A and B are shown apart, each in its own frame.
Chain A
Amino acid sequence: MAGLGKYALRRIIAFVPVLLLLLILVFMLVHLAPGDPVALMFESDPRATQADIDRMRATFGLDRPLPVQFWQFLQRIVTGDLGNSLHTREPVLRMITDRLPYTVTLGVTSLVFSIVFALLLGVLAAVRRGTWIDDVCMVLALLGVSIPNFWLGLMSILLFSVILGWLPAGGAGSPAHLVLPAIALGTTWAALSARLVRSSMLEVLGQDYVRTGHAKGLTASVVTYKHALRNAVIPVVTYLGIQIPGIVGGSVVTETVFSRPGIGRLLVESISRRDLMVVEGVVLMIGVVVLVSNLLVDLSYGLVDPRIRYE
Chain B
Amino acid sequence: MLHPIRLSVGTFAKRILLVLALAATVGQFVAAQGDEGRYGGELRFAVIGDIDNMDAIYAPSGIGVGTAHRLVFDGLALLNPSTGEYQPRLAESWEILDDGMRWRFHLRQGVLFHNGEELTSEDVKYTFDVARNPEFESPYIARFASVDDVVAVDRYTLDVVLDSPILPALAQSVWEHYIHPKSVYEADRAGFADNPVGTGPFIPVEWVRGLQMVLVRNEDYYRGRPYFDRVVLRVMPEPAARLLALEADELDLVMDVAFEDVPRLRRDPNLQLFATGPNNVQLISFFWEDPLVGGAANKTIRQALAYAIDEGSILALYEDVGGEASKNILPPSTWGYNDNVPTYDFDPERALELFAQEGWTRDASGALRNAAGEQFALSLLTTPDRIGMLDAAQVIQQSLQDIGIAVRIDSYEFTTYFEDMRTGNYQVRVARRNDINDPNLLRTYFHSSTIPAQNRGWYRNDRVDELLEAGLSEQDRDARERLYLEAQEIMADELPSYPIAATPAWLAAQSDIVLPDDMLLSHMVDVTHFVWRMYRQ
Interface residues of A (CB under 8 A from B): 34-36, 39-53, 55-56, 59, 85, 87-90, 95, 98-99, 102, 154, 157-158, 161-162, 165, 168-173, 256-262, 265-266, 269, 271-274
**Is the pair B247, A162 in contact by a Cβ cutoff of 8 Å?**
yes
Asked whether A169 and B250 contact (CB < 8 A) given A89-B53, A98-B209, the answer is yes
- For B63, give the chain A residue with the smallest CB separation: A44
**Is the pair A40, B418 in contact by a Cβ cutoff of 8 Å?**
yes
Asked whether A98 and B244 contact (CB < 8 A) given A42-B60, A48-B453, the answer is no
Question: Contact partner of B241 among A102, A165, A259, CB < 8 A?
Answer: A259
Q: Could you tell me the distance in whole angstroms from the C-beta of B393 to the nearest C-beta in chain A? A: 19
Asked if B518 CB lies within 8 Å of chain A CBs, one says: no
Q: Could you tell me the distance in whole angstroms from the C-beta of B231 to the nearest C-beta in chain A? A: 16
Please, which residues of chain B bring their CB within 8 A of the CB of A98?
Answer: 209-210
- For A47, A154, A168, the residue with the greatest tally of chain B CB atoms inside 10 Å of its CB is A47
User: Knowing that A87-B52, A161-B250, A169-B248 are A-B contacts, what are 13 other residue pairs whose CB atoms are under 8 Å apart, sorted by A's residue number?
Assistant: A44-B435, A47-B172, A49-B450, A51-B145, A89-B193, A99-B210, A169-B244, A170-B244, A171-B250, A258-B241, A259-B237, A261-B208, A272-B415
**Is the pair B50, A269 in contact by a Cβ cutoff of 8 Å?**
yes
- For A56, give the chain B residue with the smallest CB separation: B139
Please, which residues of chain A bring their CB within 8 A of the CB of B58?
Answer: 89
- For B46, give the chain A residue with the smallest CB separation: A259
Asked whether A50 and B209 contact (CB < 8 A) given A162-B248, A259-B245, A265-B237, the answer is no
- For B141, B236, B244, the residue with the greatest tally of chain A CB atoms inside 10 Å of its CB is B244
Q: What 0/1 pattern do residues 410 to 421 of B give for CB contact below 8 A with A?
A: 000111101110
Please, which residues of chain B bring their CB within 8 A of the CB of A269?
Answer: 49-50, 237
Asked if B444 CB lies within 8 Å of chain A CBs, one says: yes
Q: How far is the CA of A158 from the CA of B418 in the complex (A)?
A: 34
**A-B contacts, CB under 8 A, total:** 160
Q: How far is the CA of A257 from the CA of B240 in the complex (A)?
A: 8
Interface residues of B (CB under 8 A from A): 49-50, 52-53, 58-63, 65, 137, 139-143, 145, 172-173, 193, 208-212, 234-238, 240-241, 244-245, 247-250, 413-416, 418-420, 422, 435-436, 441, 444-445, 450, 452-454
**Is the pair A170, B139 in contact by a Cβ cutoff of 8 Å?**
no
Asked whether A158 and B193 contact (CB < 8 A) given A36-B422, A87-B62, A99-B209, the answer is no
Q: Could you tell me the distance in whole angstroms from the C-beta of B362 to the nearest C-beta in chain A? A: 36
Question: Contact partner of B452 among A42, A43, A50, A51, CB < 8 A?
Answer: A50
**Is the pair A157, B241 in contact by a Cβ cutoff of 8 Å?**
yes
Closest 4 CB pairs of A and B: A261-B210, A88-B52, A50-B453, A35-B415
**Is the pair B240, A171 in contact by a Cβ cutoff of 8 Å?**
no
Q: How far is the CA of A156 from the CA of B356 in the complex (A)?
A: 57
**Is the pair A161, B418 in contact by a Cβ cutoff of 8 Å?**
no
**Is the pair A52, B143 in contact by a Cβ cutoff of 8 Å?**
yes
Q: How far is the CA of A95 from the CA of B134 in the complex (A)?
A: 26
- For A269, give the chain B residue with the smallest CB separation: B50
Q: How far is the CA of A201 from the CA of B301 in the complex (A)?
A: 71
Asked whether A34 and B415 contact (CB < 8 A) given A41-B139, A46-B445, A269-B49, the answer is yes
Question: Contact partner of A154 among B63, B141, B244, CB < 8 A?
Answer: B244
**Is the pair B212, A171 in contact by a Cβ cutoff of 8 Å?**
yes
Asked whether A256 and B237 contact (CB < 8 A) given A53-B453, A273-B415, the answer is yes
**Is the pair B240, A169 in contact by a Cβ cutoff of 8 Å?**
no
**Is the pair A46, B250 in contact by a Cβ cutoff of 8 Å?**
no
Please, which residues of chain B bring their CB within 8 A of the CB of A87?
Answer: 52, 59-60, 62
Asked whether A39 and B414 contact (CB < 8 A) given A47-B143, A50-B453, A269-B50, the answer is no
Q: How far is the CA of A301 from the CA of B63 in the complex (A)?
A: 48
**Is the pair A46, B236 in contact by a Cβ cutoff of 8 Å?**
no
Q: How far is the CA of A59 from the CA of B138 in the complex (A)?
A: 10
Please, which residues of chain A bring their CB within 8 A of the CB of B50?
Answer: 88, 261, 269
Question: Contact partner of B238 among A171, A256, A266, A271, CB < 8 A?
Answer: A256
- For B50, give the chain A residue with the smallest CB separation: A269
Q: How far is the CA of A34 from the CA of B236 in the complex (A)?
A: 26
Please, which residues of chain A bring their CB within 8 A of the CB of B452?
Answer: 50
Please, which residues of chain B bring their CB within 8 A of the CB of A45?
Answer: 60-61
**Is the pair B244, A158 in contact by a Cβ cutoff of 8 Å?**
yes
**Is the pair A89, B208 in contact by a Cβ cutoff of 8 Å?**
no
Q: Could you tell me the distance in whole angstroms from the C-beta of B383 to the nearest C-beta in chain A? A: 11
Asked whether A265 and B210 contact (CB < 8 A) given A89-B53, A90-B53, A165-B248, the answer is yes
